[in-house]
Structure formats: C-alpha cells, structure tokens
Structure 1
C-alpha cells in the first residue's frame, strides 16, 4: 500500500545527441520494483512506462493506481511518482523519455503561445492507460520501442514521426475527454424530459411539454436532445413505447390492438410501423421469436443513448 513519502528524489536524464528519445529497454528492467524504496521521484522529461509483465501499483503524488500487463503510464516532468511490484513478484517495464519541449520549439519556432498551449494540455496530468482502450497510442509506443531496439536504417526519422503522432494522440485524448464531459452535461440537462417520457409514455406527449420540463425553449430543447441522444425526441418516445410493448407481449396474452393502446400508440397501424422500424419485424412475428428484443431493440437503445 502507498505510504506518505518524506523525501522526493530528482532523477536527471540526458537524451543522446541526435536522438529524440532516451529509451531504457530490455531484460535489465525486469525486477521487483520498489523493494527497499520509500521515496517518490521525478524527472526532467516526460516519462513513458510500458508494462509487459507483472502487477502492482503506481504512486503519483501519493495517489495509488493499480497496474497490470499491457498498461502504460505517461508522467509529465516534475511530477513525483514511483512504481511498486506486488509483494513477491517482479515487473517487466520499459521506459522512454521524450524532450517534447525541444521538439515543439523546433517544429513551431515562431509561435511561442501555441507551444505553451500544447505543453499545458500535454502536461496537465499523469495518465495510466490500458492498451485495449487506447489502441492507437499503444501501437505508436510499441513502434517507438521497436525502432529504438533495432535501430535500423532511418530509425531516427521514424521515431520522429511516431513522436509527432504520439503528441497528436495525447491532444486528441484531451479533446475526447472534454467532448465526453460536454455530452454528459447535455444529458443531465435533458434528464427531466427522459423521466417525463418514462412516466407518461401511455399518454399523448408534446415536445413542448418535454421542453417545459427542462425549462428550455422548444427549439433549444430539440437541438440539445438530438446532440445528446443522437435521435429526435419523437423517435425516443416511440422507442420507449416499443420497449414497453415488448414487455407486455412477453408477459401477457392480450391482443396487439390492446398492446398498442396501452403503450400510447393511437392506432394499430402506427404501432406496427414503429415496431417494425425499430425491431425489424412485425409485432406478430416478434412474438414467435421473443429473443429479438435482446438481439435488436436493446442494442438499438444502447446506440441511441451513446455517450451518457
């Protein structure tokens, strides 16, 4: 478990001339990490650690995070951290240090403000990521490791290109997180409308009523709902009604006409049309093969509500 550290060690590294990366690779880095060490440390460059084997914890500013194989860390310079293997085990990590500031200064020589903006985004926090969740970043890092291991012809040019891709993906990661945050905020704004539909789907529902429930103008509500749910409000209402119809069909023996009216459709033809649009078959056909609900309609619902 993590402990409060009294001493923080500064580990200064130098990147060799004509290289973009200092790479600490190979079997020398298979070890029991943290044995006999009770201090955090920090570096002068951004540190990329790639875990091939082992489990344990990474401590960043006295916060603990579990690690396992195929995870990688991205630690900004001057941020205190350390790594501990689980007791009685070894970890196999490989490490890389990038001079991102030098790279950006060489690339954007006349735009100091833009360089500072990029550095602020890249250095804003430490990251512990899993390869399966960040396939592009994982491939970039694996390719850099491969190039630095083999040092084949033009490897320096190759690493420079991968470094550019690495920076871009870090910036995109930040952008994706911000978009996800905005999407979640939008979903919260329309949550009252979702609750209203869930409680009143049997009745006639006007879009103006949903907008009023969210204290919005109707035009603003329609736009926000579409951005958040990837569907129009009327389509969401019909989706909920068809879902409720499926539940009734599975649990009762009432007629399809009664099902349609009980879930809020005013005519059987409207019910049949919406049911087929969403499920891919008529209510009568679906009744003979009820697994279509899980196989089609539920998946559609997940897709429609993606992002919140």
Structure 2
C-alpha cells in the first residue's frame, strides 16, 4: 500500500504597515475557488476573515469546518489551514491581519503578558463564528473593514478602537477554553502543529538567546526530531528562521526610528555588529546602512527578500 502523501505547508509572510500595523486584504480578487488546494498554509499574524457570500469548507487541524455567508473566522499565527468554496461557487472574503501584542501593548499594560489566547489548541469549529450567534462580532469586524477601506478622517483611531473591542469579544468567547486546556493537561501538539510552540516563542522572544535544545523541549521532541520536523514544515532550519525574524524586526526599526545600527542590532538579538551586518546583507542584498537609505525613499518591504531566501511560498 502506498504511503499517504504528506501535505505541503506554505508559510505566507505579511509585513504590516509601520505607522498603523494592520493589513486589510479586500476586494473582488479575494474570491475563494471551489477547487481544494493541495497545500495547507499559515501566517505570521492573527487572521480575521469575513465571508460575504456563498459557503464552503475550511480545514483546520485536520477537521473540515463548514462556513457560510456572514461567518467570521479567527485563526492564530502558525495554524495550518486551507479554505475552498462549495461546488460551482466562489465565496467572497475580506481579511484582516495584525499582531495583538504589538497593536495593544500600550493599552492593556499589566494584562499584556496573558493577552493572546492559545487558539491553536481549540477545536477547529470554534474558529468560525456565525453572524446569528455573534452579531456583535460581525458588526465590529465589518465596521473595521469599512473604516480601512473608506479612510475618512480619523479612520485609524476609529479602526483601533473597533479592533480593541473586537479582540476583547474574542477573548471573552474563548475564555472557556482556558479551563478546557487545564483539564486536558499539557498535551503535545500533533502533526503540522507540533512546532507551533517554537514558532510562537521565537516570535515573542527573538531578541533573547535561544537554543535549538530549548525549542525542541518546548515542543516535547528530541533535538534531532525537532530539527527534521521544523525543516519539513518551514522549509528552513530553526536558527535560520530565528535569524530571518530578527532581520525583519531590524528592518522595521531601520525604517521607523533614528536609532543607530549598532543599537538596532543589539535590540533584535545580535551580539556583534559584524554578525548582524553579515546576516543582514545575506538576507536583504544590501548593508543595513544602504538598505535604510533605500527604504526611506522607496518604502521598501522586508517581505520579499526574506521569503526568497528561505524558500517559503
């Protein structure tokens, strides 16, 4: 009997705007085909989806979850999934991407450390919320999209307040899962989700020293198995992913601050300026000084070069 083919996992990396770190993908091009993709994919930010028409299936954690017009979906970072519409239809969507801890860190202060729920451990069906059962969630999500599309005066301030309210509703809805997680105990994640704790840790603690042994322990894997599984899913080695994350953060600082290159290199976790310059030039194709000068005039994004380097789709 032939072995079951393993799914291909695509990492879709989105660079958020510096001034207002929320990305909206909207318009007629965001129609989902009725052809099921052979690839699962995941993102580097929280994804909120709004389905405006038709119906279909979203596959999450190996579970086929139906959706229909009026549903709102919430998918955490690093959760592999795919979406396809019902036969002979093409559902229309808008998507919002943002990182709650980055967007709300000054608003929530003491609550910040426990702010983001561990959504990847909930059942897939709980990631889809209907308009009928959660009318407030639907109203807030659609209002955010309209604010970002119309860009009337003070739209960023309005969108920020609406996003904050929406995220609080999300926390309330999923608060019951905290008890469920405690009852189930600290169980290892399976399949494509097994490296999620490592990805999450790198995203939050990239500026600190991190070893592969520590990341493997987080995922309840041996170091050898962790290396192999990480490369299988991400298409790159754990330390290369860590370096890419640090360089992306350095790009943000180079574009948005006047901090010295030495200071930025230390802020993102490099302990020598020579190592930082070498890694930056290898990933971005230019020195930090040259890249900063070019970015100021061309609004250059870190996304393309990092994706090209790692081979992520």
Distance 1:4 1:130 in 2: 33
Question: RMSD of aligned C-alpha atoms?
Answer: 2.6
1:247-280 alpha-carbon deviations (Å, 9 max, x no partner):
xxxxxxxxxxxxxxxxxxxxxxxxxxxxxxxxxx
> Which structure's CA Rg is the greater one?
1
Per the alignment, do residues 61 and 178 of structure 1 end up closer, same or farther by CA in structure 2, a change over 3 Å counting?
A: closer
Per the alignment, do residues 121 and 42 of structure 1 end up closer, same or farther by CA in structure 2, a change over 3 Å counting?
A: closer
Shift of 1:151: 0.7
Q: How does 1:154-193 map to 2 (within 5 A)?
A: 154-175=154-175
Q: Which residue of 2 aligns with 1:22?
A: 23
Distance 2:118 2:108 in 1: 16
Shift of 1:32: 1.4
Distance 1:145 1:124 in 2: 27
Q: How many residues align?
A: 175
Q: 8 Å contact 2:117–2:171 — kept in the other structure?
A: no
Q: Does 1:136 align with 2:136?
A: yes
Q: 8 Å contact 2:32–2:83 — kept in the other structure?
A: no
Shift of 1:19: 1.8
Shift of 1:5: 4.9
SS state at 2:29 partner: helix
Distance 1:166 1:124 in 2: 21
Runs of 4+ in 1 over 6 A off after TM superposition: 176-180
TM (normalized to structure 1)?
Answer: 0.52
Distance 1:59 1:4 in 2: 17
Q: Does 1:59 align with 2:56?
A: no
Distance 1:4 1:53 in 2: 32
Q: Which residue of 1 aligns with 2:117?
A: 120
Q: 8 Å contact 2:104–2:164 — kept in the other structure?
A: no
Q: Does 1:76 align with 2:76?
A: yes
Shift of 1:167: 1.5
Shift of 1:149: 1.1
Which gives a bigger RCO, structure 1 or 2 (Cα 8 Å, sep 6+)? 2
Q: 8 Å contact 1:9–1:40 — kept in the other structure?
A: yes
Shift of 1:44: 0.4
Segments of structure 1 that go 5 or more residues without pairing to the other structure are: 181-308
SS state at 1:171 partner: helix
Per the alignment, do residues 101 and 124 of structure 1 end up closer, same or farther by CA in structure 2, a change over 3 Å counting?
A: farther
Shift of 1:166: 1.0
Distance 1:55 1:20 in 2: 30
Q: 8 Å contact 1:5–1:40 — kept in the other structure?
A: no
Distance 1:104 1:124 in 2: 23
Distance 2:63 2:81 in 1: 9
Distance 2:156 2:99 in 1: 14
Shift of 1:137: 0.7
Q: Which residue of 2 aligns with 1:42?
A: 42
TM (normalized to structure 2)?
Answer: 0.51
